[in-house]
Structure 1
């Protein structure tokens, strides 16, 4: 298994609450409706809490601001993901997925990368 991690910042013109509401109640169902096309094995949204502890941790370590949320998407393998991305179905879905993401994500301040989990 591999996992795609997306660390997300919301668009500047929406609140964190609006970002999380859209992500959970609109984008999430849209994503899951199309999960088979992407060969997604599992999809998890982690919504950042509005907590003073986040600011305390950031300041105590001189860290950058927190993300508004993190998406985790599991795939069977990197090769399986590549095959899915090269499919005709994904060619049709890709622009729709990005269009939907543009409703709430600031892509210029967000990032995405593949990882392999190592448990201890």
Structure 2
């Protein structure tokens, strides 16, 4: 993994600490599949050692991201519960859908971040889940 760390965009925000009056945080989970010519290890190496530093180099205070988290699959499964497999998952938090749209349609994202994704992702297989959180416990 990258020595630069995984917290790329902003300080972590625990959504459970939000005021009840505040609108819920929009969480976008992005399910990633590597290019067919890469091993999972090559995918992880490029993602953490090259792509994350690239993101860190273009992100500034104008980027409306609350939190950015990487999820790496463990390969574990519980018997009887069918898992899904992706090479990685990114969770990005925004205050609003407008903020998310502004980031994902910005020139910075499309010409720099998305362009670099071609080096390690099969973008045709990338899937997005847009959600808000409803805490149950914890």
4+ runs deviating over 6 angstroms? none
TM-score by length of 1: 0.77
How many residues end up aligned between the 2 structures?
111
Q: Higher relative contact order at CA 8 Å, sep ≥6: structure 1 or structure 2?
A: 1
Select which of 12, 16, 28 maps to 2:40. 16
The answer for unaligned runs of 5 or more in structure 2 is: 1-24
Residue aligning to 1:71: 90
Residue aligning to 2:15: none
Residue aligning to 1:100: 116
Preserved contact between residue 66 and residue 94 of structure 2 (Cα < 8 Å) = yes
Residue aligning to 2:64: 39
Write the deviation string for residues 47-90 of structure 1: whole angstroms up to 9, x where unpaired.
112x3x34x65xx3455x5111100111121122334456xxx2
Higher helix share: 1
The answer for unaligned runs of 5 or more in structure 1 is: none
